[in-house]
Chain A
Amino acid sequence: MSKRMLMKGNIALAEGAVIAGCRYYFGYPITPQNEIPEYMASRLPEAGGVFVQAESEVASVNMVLGAASAGARAMTTTSSPGFSLMQEGVSYLAACHLPCLMANVQRGGPGLGNIAASQADYFQAVKGGGHGDYHLIVLAPNSPQEMMDFAILGYELADTYRIPSLILSDGVIGLMMESVTVRDDYVPKPPAKPWALTGCKGREKNVIRSLWLDEDGVIINNNKLQAKYREIEKNEIRYEEYMTEDADVIAVAYGMPSRIARTVVESMRVEGLKVGVFRPITLYPFPYQRLADLASRVKSMLVVEMSAGQMVEDVRLAVNGKAPVELYGTPGGAFPEEAEVYRRLKSLLK
């Protein structure tokens, strides 16, 4: 039986990972996600797992690489400056086709920034961050419930495609408390991992690598990666729509701003104003086609995000000139204001 509990987003994420079968957590403290390592430090030993506080984010992501190579469901979590430090390992994880779960509970940047919620790591999450041509599956929760659910989904997708999954959250979703249906009746079913490094008993040796010094090796591996990404783009696009059927103006937002946008749209609908919300749930793969379809029948779109404007570029790419796309972006850990979302949506309706 599933039970309902009041849970902080960060705890919901951590417990979701444990429910998904994660038994290996490697991390380094940074605000605003410290509840995750703190929770794992007591929860994992109790569940028969291992918690290691690494010496750095660089070490933690590489410990995840080792544990994932050995076939385990492993995890690390961090916040923005920490995720920057992990980028080397993220590129290697992607190149080596290693499934794992990571989370970035974003804070204000660039630099040390602040500890307020932000969405300014969108480019880093979906456009690379590390070197080379690669993608991660990027899931954007907007509630503690989704922090839990996406930890489970993240592992399922990671194992299905042998790809690292990233939960791109923010400091508010991480720290807010809400009622969560704990999926403790979930039974993890990780697939067999014949490629894993377990010792070569009864088989040829396995090698996990990203280096080929011959002419074709890296090209072959890149072609494999790209074929996998096309498959993911075909199968795994997720989004949520609210009142978009007849909307003249659509707010596009993910994570915390999507809740603000929805609150504003609910009140505008009471006034009889035709507005809606489109929320990308997977930031990679991005719902380009659905946004393009919507763009062909709306007056305009308003992107609300906690950055100086990052996801707006993907929305404009999707819309491709079919409708005007305006940005309401709040950089540096600043929060979008309901009144301003209202004002902008209303002006776009004219």
Chain B
Amino acid sequence: MEQTIIYERPSSMVDLRLNYCPGCGHGTAHRLICEAVDELDVRERTIAVAPVGCAVNAYDYFDFDVCEAAHGRAAAVATGIKRVLPDRLVISYQGDGDLASIGMAETIHAANRGENITVIFINNANYGMTGGQMAPTSLVGQITTTTPGGRNPSTEGYPIKMAELIATFPGVKYAVRTTVADVRGVRETKKAIRKAFELQLDGKGYSFVEILSNCNTNWKMTPVESNKYITNELVNFFPIGVYKDDYKE
């Protein structure tokens, strides 16, 4: 019987074992980025900016040019690259501490300048790599190592909704929130990433894809439980959807 390959490793993803915890969403997000890069046939003109945090080793997994950035500064680094090489696909890959806390200024101002870059924002509601401390996106009541009694808005404030915030800037052309917690979410995420890349390659302007992902280790859940937590709890505060699309089909 003739065999047909229907699923394989994207050619722009290095054949390496990922260092992420089993069940973590980073691997899925990496794969979706690489699939989109392959489909658009732009591996040779893609430059990514790797974050500080769990995904810091992204440059080992992406088989295209990658620059490191200091914590929070990825959008500024991406700005510098894109201004020099405006015809390249420039991707900034960042976590929630990186993008919404220490790098909030860089994040907002790159969006406000309408830099023609794509920011992929992995929101797992805590600081994963450093051991599960509170992030700006941790939910009210969420127990983390630095909010042992649960996040209390009267002392720690409220979680920040980045996709909604980013969508307010005129320079932003596309801002969405998706998940990688279930099959449907993965499909939507892939569509969003591909669209964001296409808009950038067409010179349309800034695009932002927030992906709700899990941190089963620090959430102290099984991978399955953590994905259920996203679809049952996290989405209630961070609703999935398109917050801005200046180029609706």
- A-to-B contact residues, CB < 8 Å: 24, 26, 50, 52, 54-56, 58-60, 62-72, 74, 88-89, 92, 96, 197-202, 205-211, 213
* Option from A58, A96, A201 in Cβ contact (under 8 Å) with B73: A58
- B79:A197 contact, CB within 8 angstroms: no
CB interface residues, B 71-113, toward A, < 8 Å: 73, 76-85, 88, 105-106, 108-109, 113
Contacts of A202 in B (CB 8 A): 44
Contact flag A62-B106 (CB < 8 Å), given A198-B85, A199-B64:
yes
Stretch at the interface among B54-62, B118-126, B153-161, B162-170: B54-62
* Option from A24, A55, A62, A200 in Cβ contact (under 8 Å) with B77: A62
A55 to B107 alpha-carbon distance, docked (Å): 10
**CB closest residue in chain A, given B74:** A62
- B85:A63 contact, CB within 8 angstroms: no
* Option from B57, B70, B79, B83 in Cβ contact (under 8 Å) with A88: B70
Within the complex, the shortest CB–CB distance from A56 to chain B, in Å, comes to: 6
A59 to B66 alpha-carbon distance, docked (Å): 19
Chain B 21-46: CB-based contact to A (< 8 A → 1; otherwise 0)? 00000000000000000000001111
> Could you name 5 residue pairs across A and B whose Cβ atoms are closer than 8 Å?
A197-B66, A200-B44, A205-B66, A206-B65, A207-B59
- A59:B70 contact, CB within 8 angstroms: no
Within the complex, the shortest CB–CB distance from B230 to chain A, in Å, comes to: 28
- B79:A52 contact, CB within 8 angstroms: yes
Beyond A55-B106, A56-B105, A209-B50, list 18 extra A-B contacts (CB 8 Å): A24-B80, A24-B84, A52-B113, A54-B109, A58-B105, A58-B106, A62-B69, A62-B70, A65-B77, A66-B81, A67-B84, A69-B80, A197-B81, A199-B46, A199-B47, A207-B65, A209-B66, A209-B67
- B68:A66 contact, CB within 8 angstroms: no
The 8 closest A-B pairs by CB, nearest first: A66-B80, A62-B76, A199-B45, A67-B80, A201-B44, A55-B109, A70-B84, A66-B77
**CB closest residue in chain B, given A209:** B68
Contacts of B62 in A (CB 8 A): 205
- A54:B46 contact, CB within 8 angstroms: no
- B65:A205 contact, CB within 8 angstroms: yes
In this assembly, does B63 line the interface, its C-beta being within 8 Å of a C-beta of chain A? yes
Within the complex, the shortest CB–CB distance from A63 to chain B, in Å, comes to: 4
